[in-house]
A and B are shown apart, each in its own frame.
Chain A
Amino acid sequence: MVLECKHVWEHISGYLDGNLDAAVLEEVQKHLEHCEICSAILDSTRNILILTADERVFELPLGFSERLHARLETEMRGFTYGPSGSEEGDT
């Protein structure tokens, strides 16, 4: 069976995560060897995942940590974990 391009696209995510069945993987690989377009789609998807995984995409605002820990500090004052769950609860 020869896979068409659009069927290969259905497997791009699985291919990148390495969880395709052996038989499907072989077909996809065979297709990629001769299909420049699908190879380019695979490469571009992989590269986009590398870029979006970079922690610089969403940078923490200046002072984020300080403000967070200050707020936690206020919360912690006098806080105890009661067995009855009688502390200020949330919804």
Chain B
Amino acid sequence: MNASVENRNEAQMIASILAGNTHEFHRLIQPYERSVYSMALSMLQNEADAEDAAQEAFLKAFRNLDKFRGEAKFSTWLISITLNEARSRLRHKKTAKTESLDELTEGGHVSPALLRDWREIPSEALERQEVRLLLQDAITDLPTIYREVFVLRDMEDLSVNQSAEALGITVAATKVRLHRARLMLQKRLAPELKRVMPKRRWFPWF
């Protein structure tokens, strides 16, 4: 989270909301709207479901704010509510990727894609819809247990400890899952990105 968020006194805002200034909740959640939506979308793979789950997560956070004890950061608490909301919807949807199947893959090893001539992909690439879709698909296709930890740590920028806390798993398990998630993405995305990116003239060996 950026500095302006870090500098806000969220404890004070929460106390004020609980004291009756409920409208301050709008300001409290503003920096986290994108995070909550991204989390929901990466889990549910559908914009309408993701928006609904995100709204529900914010409503639950509002209703249960008096149960927030402040041991965790508000953002971590909010993300874990979102995660639970998305998980419960996934269970209802009974999608092809079930938790038990995901668990089966946990013992497996992942070998990265061997691409000798990889060069940096400029971030302007994200202005291309094609590239955004490749990334979205690769993330949403990860088995749930890997997707959750990847989104928390590498997209939402939670620490490994915060991710472990939000997921209710150990720090060691978090690191293992994160490692596999990253290699799975490398394996899939490195060849795909190489294919869609224009050849760059200043590397004569292309």
Contact = CB atoms under 8 A, between A and B. Distances in A.
Contacts of B77: none
A6 B178 CA distance: 17
Interface in A23-71: 36-37, 40-41, 43-45, 47-61, 64-65, 67-69, 71
Interface on chain B toward A: helix, strand, loop, or mixed SS?
A: helix
A48 B18 CA distance: 42
Interface in B119-144: 119-121, 123, 125-127, 131-132, 135-136, 139
Nearest to A88: B63
Nearest to A40: B118
26 contacts: A9-B112, A13-B183, A37-B114, A41-B190, A44-B112, A44-B115, A45-B183, A47-B121, A48-B193, A52-B139, A52-B150, A52-B155, A52-B185, A53-B155, A53-B157, A56-B127, A58-B37, A58-B41, A60-B34, A65-B33, A67-B51, A68-B33, A72-B25, A75-B59, A79-B63, A90-B64
Interface residues of B, number: 59
B175 A47 contact: no
Interface of B: 18, 20, 22-23, 25-26, 33-34, 37-38, 41-42, 47, 51, 54-55, 58-60, 62-66, 111-121, 123, 125-127, 131-132, 135-136, 139, 150, 154-155, 157, 160, 175, 178-179, 182-183, 185-186, 189-190, 193
A50 B117 CA distance: 18
Nearest to B26: A69
B112 A71 contact: no
